[in-house]
Structures are given as structure tokens and as C-alpha cells.
Amino acid sequence: MAAGLTYGLYGTSFAESKRPFQNENAHFKRNNSDILQNAQDFVESRSNPAEGLERENILITDIKVTPLSYVHKGDYLWRVGGLLVWKADAALVQIFTNKGIVGIGEGSPYRGPDTLKEYTDKYITPLLKGANVFDVDFLTNNQGHNSIAEGAWAGVNNAIWDIIGKAKGQPVYKLLSGERISSNKVHMYASGGVEHAWYENGEEALIAEALRYKNAGFDTFKFRQGTSWKFSNMTMDKYIPVLQNLRKAVGPDFKLCIEKFPWDMDTILHQLCPVLEELKFYWYEEPVSPDDPNSMEKHLAINEAMPSVMVSGGESWWNRYQAFPFSISGAMDLFQTDPNLTGITEGWHIGQMLYKHGRKYCPHNWVGGLTTIASIHLVAGVPSGHMCETNMTFNPLKWEIFKDPYPIENGYLTIPDKPGFGVELADDLEKKFPFQPGFYGKPNPIMEGSDIPLWWS
């Protein structure tokens, strides 16, 4: 019903679509006439990821959400636009069962860990007590009626998958993969670009950051647009030489990805896109807000302006129906829905759909370790899985919350052959990371009195 409605809204069908898309094995785009062949490479027989798993009597007895914070003692953790970030949050979800198995997960901490806890305590826990975890695909996709619900239900969905993996003695990604042979090595890309300030030595700092990640073994770097352009009188004419020098510094084979910024369409199409194509950037992320009423048409125009550069987006979406029109049309090549909003179940459906359309899945993962454990299992567990983002800013909530964190070596994370997500929580987390309420950002004092917005300007 919903899929049919989506087709009708956008006036296109699977067979009619002729948009370009990205080839997995070579960095160029091809026509959708090849999609059906691609879809036949692997045929998923399940309607839902938990389908076919032998059912056990494992019932939910309680759900606990624990807000956590790391408060930085220095000036800031990272900076962008007119914003300084002073803390990082986590929203630990623990689900308890009648068999003593405890699952862990996280909903988006950007929805507010304390508000996620309040929503879960009030609505989700009373509803799910006594429910069987093997009904995960139908218990926890009650999302979308508000932003808090999206994060809260996603965190519960993720934690239930950890329980199922532990019950079956299998890593979650193997359960998601089903009959498909999957790899436990997940390609991680370095995500940053929130150190450089245009009122300081912005170009020098950005290049140094990229080289630092390259020397650490990463082969891909995604970066934001630095501090406020308005404050420092930064322009596209000044920015293009920065991009050219960055490419020269890292070499031709190192993948570069650029993040969103509110440039106008004329600037994007006639100044930025030709340069990204010439410099062989890997992707251009969310060039237009998905809330723009002409987002589809603008993404298509930007994609067509860059024959070899992928267009990506979708980090704020929580279901496959939002991603569908951008996938089937070829408006986007790479999709970045976040499991701390979709949950693993809906993320699995998105990954399957993208594979049929010849697209790539690369989840947004700009938080800590509790979301990363879901993201990497999802990337490994769907046939469209391509890469996973790793937040390169300093944040002990990424790995210090686990007793044995996953190591990243030469840009790859190897998922251990352990049940569930394969990690165990460290002791005394509430004591070590006491929650600090409030917004994680504050105005950059250097820009005081300049009427600079916190975010992009």
C-alpha cells in the first residue's frame, strides 16, 4: 500500500526509471536498465529479517534507558559554523528478559537521552512487557509520529536484536545476512572536518587532518565546511583552491567526501560540481535539505552534473518509504539512514531495497559506540552494505563504554565471532559518565556580537 502510494506520488515506476547509479566495482554510473540483473545476483527470500528463526520463549521483563554524558574539560570537542560542542551524550538501552539475557542498544542521543528515557518509560515499556523478542519485526516499528518516538523505538529494536543474537549464539550480522555469505570486515571511513576554522589557518588544518587519517590507514575522509563562512568572509572562489590543494596533498587515490552546506543551486551546479568531478571526489552528501519541497528535482540535477561523483543523504529518515523515491529515481546513489532512528529491522528493509535498485548503504554514525555496534552489523548484514562512518572527534563514549571494544585497523573493523553485538558493557558507566542535561552546543565566543547562527552560515 505505502510502496504503491510512493510510486504514484512521484510518477515513476521501477521499470520506467532511467536515472544513473553507482557501480559497486568501478567508480562510474550506469543506467537503471542494469538494475534487474543486479537484483538477480542475490535473491532474499525472507519478508522480514527474523523470519525463519526458531522461536524461543524469551519474554521482555523490563526496559531501562540510561542517559550518559562525557563533558569535555577543554574549550570544545569540535566546532562548526558558529557552534562549539562541549559534551557528547549516549542513550544506553538495556532490555531484560525472563531467561536472564540482556540486550543493549541506543536510540539517537540527538533526540535527548532524557527525553528518550521519559518516552520509553511512559509508552514502550508498559506496551512491551511480556512480549516475545522473536516478534521484533512487528513489535518495534511503531515509529514516525514524532522525533522522540523514532529514536526511542529504534533503540529498543536494536537491543532486542542483541538478545536474539545472544540466544542463537550468533553475531547479529549473520542473522541479518541469512543465506547470503557475508564478511565480518567492515570498511570504515574517517568522518571529521570539524577542527578547521576559517578565522585561523583553516586550509592548513583541514589538510593536516586528512593526512593524519591517511597515515592511520583510512582510505576515505568526509569533512564539513569549517566555521562560519559569513564571519570569515569565506566564498566559493576562495574555497575551490582549498579543495584543489587538499586533493594534491592526499594524492589521487584517497577518497574525499564533502558534507552539506546551504550554498545556492547556481553555486552548486556551476562552481562546485565541476570541481568535485574534476578532483574525483567520492561523494557529495545531502547537497539539498530533504525538507526542501523541490529536493528530488535538485538532487537529480546535482547528480547529473557529476557523472562520477556519488550523491548521498537520508540521515534524518526513519523508514524505507522516505528513501524509496530517491533510490528508484537515481536522485541519490548512497544512502545514510541511521539505525538509531530506523532500528535494525527497518534498516534491513532499506538495505534490501537499495540492493535491488543498485544503490549503496552507508549509515550515518556521528555518535558513540552504542550506535556503532548496530551500524556495523547492519552494514555487514545487508547486500548493499558499503561503508560505515566513524566519528573521529574525541569522545570516550565511543569505546570506553565497552570492556573489549572493536579495534579499527587500516580502515577496517573486524566484527568478532561472538553472539549478539559481541560487546560487554564496562562497569560503573553511570558513575563514570554522569548525564548532563541540556543542548550539547554553545555559541563560539570569538563570534560574539556578530549575529552568527549556531549552524551553517
Residue 357 lies in a domain: yes
Residues 201 and 313 in one domain: yes
pLDDT in tens, 45-73: 999 999 999 999 999 999 999 999 999 99
Question: Element (H or E) spanning 370, and its range?
Answer: helix 369-381
- pLDDT value for 455: 86
Residue 12 lies in a domain: no
Three-state SS letters, 154-198: HHHHHHHHHHHHHHHCCEHHHHHHCCCCCCCEEEEEEEECCCCCC
Domain boundary among 153, 169, 185: 169
Residues 250 and 363 in one domain: yes
Angle of helix 320-328 relative to helix 295-305, nearest 10 degrees, comes to 40
Q: What residues does 441 pair with on adjacent strands?
A: 85
DSSP string, 11-56: T--TTT---EEE-SSSSSEEEGGGHHHHHTSS----SSTTTTPPP-
- pLDDT value for 41: 73
Residue 135 lies in a domain: yes
pLDDT in tens, 227-275: 999 999 999 999 999 999 999 999 999 999 999 999 999 999 999 999 9
Domain containing 107: what range? Answer: 60-169
Q: Is the pLDDT of residue 4 over 70?
A: no
pLDDT in tens, 204-226: 999 999 999 999 999 999 999 99
- pLDDT value for 6: 30
Residues 66 and 199 in one domain: no
Cell of 116: 528518550
pLDDT in tens, 109-145: 999 999 999 999 999 999 999 999 999 999 886 566 7
Residues 245 and 149 in one domain: no
Residues 322 and 384 in one domain: yes
Q: Is the pLDDT of residue 5 over 60?
A: no
200: CATH: 3.20.20.120
Residue 11 lies in a domain: no
Distance CA 7, CA 329 (A): 10
Residues 209 and 162 in one domain: no
- How many independent structural domains does the chain possess? 2
Q: Is the pLDDT of residue 8 over 50?
A: no
Residues 411 and 317 in one domain: yes
153: CATH: 3.30.390.10
Is 257 within 8 Å of 246 (Cβ atoms)?
no
Cell of 183: 564478511
Length of the chain (residues): 457
Residues 112 and 181 in one domain: no
Residue 258: phi and psi, rounded to 5, are -110, 140
Residue 452 lies in a domain: no
Residues 385 and 357 in one domain: yes
Residues 116 and 217 in one domain: no
Domain boundary among 121, 145, 169: 169
- pLDDT value for 144: 62
pLDDT in tens, 289-337: 988 999 999 999 999 999 999 999 999 999 999 999 999 999 999 999 9
Residue 34: phi and psi, rounded to 5, are -90, -5
Cell of 433: 559518565
- Residue in 263, 178, 310 with CA at minimum distance from that of residue 457: 263
Q: How far is Cα of residue 117 from the mean position of the Cα atoms in its chain?
A: 22
Is 424 within 8 Å of 101 (Cβ atoms)?
no
SS3 for 118?
A: helix
Domain boundary among 134, 169, 204: 169
Q: Is the pLDDT of residue 99 over 90?
A: yes
Distance CA 387, CA 391 (A): 13
Residue 39 lies in a domain: no
Residue 245 lies in a domain: yes
Cell of 48: 522480514
pLDDT in tens, 365-398: 999 999 999 999 999 999 999 999 999 999 999 9
pTM across the whole model:
0.91
Which of 95-99, 141-145, 187-191, 255-259 has the least mean pLDDT? 141-145
- CA dist 303 → 29, 277, 286, 300, 362 (Å): 10, 11, 11, 5, 18
Residues 214 and 99 in one domain: no
Q: Is the pLDDT of residue 42 over 90?
A: no
* 236 CB neighbour count, 10 Å cutoff: 17
Residues 164 and 182 in one domain: no
Is 395 within 8 Å of 70 (Cβ atoms)?
yes
Q: Is the pLDDT of residue 154 over 80?
A: yes
Residue 48 lies in a domain: no
Helices (H) and strands (E) in the chain, counts: 17, 18
Distance CA 218, CA 193 (A): 15
- pLDDT value for 142: 59
pLDDT in tens, 168-182: 999 999 999 999 999
Give the β-pairing of 29-31 and 20-22: antiparallel
E strand map for 298-443: 310-313, 334-335, 360-361, 388-391, 408-409, 412-414, 441-443
pLDDT in tens, 413-442: 999 999 999 999 999 999 999 999 999 999
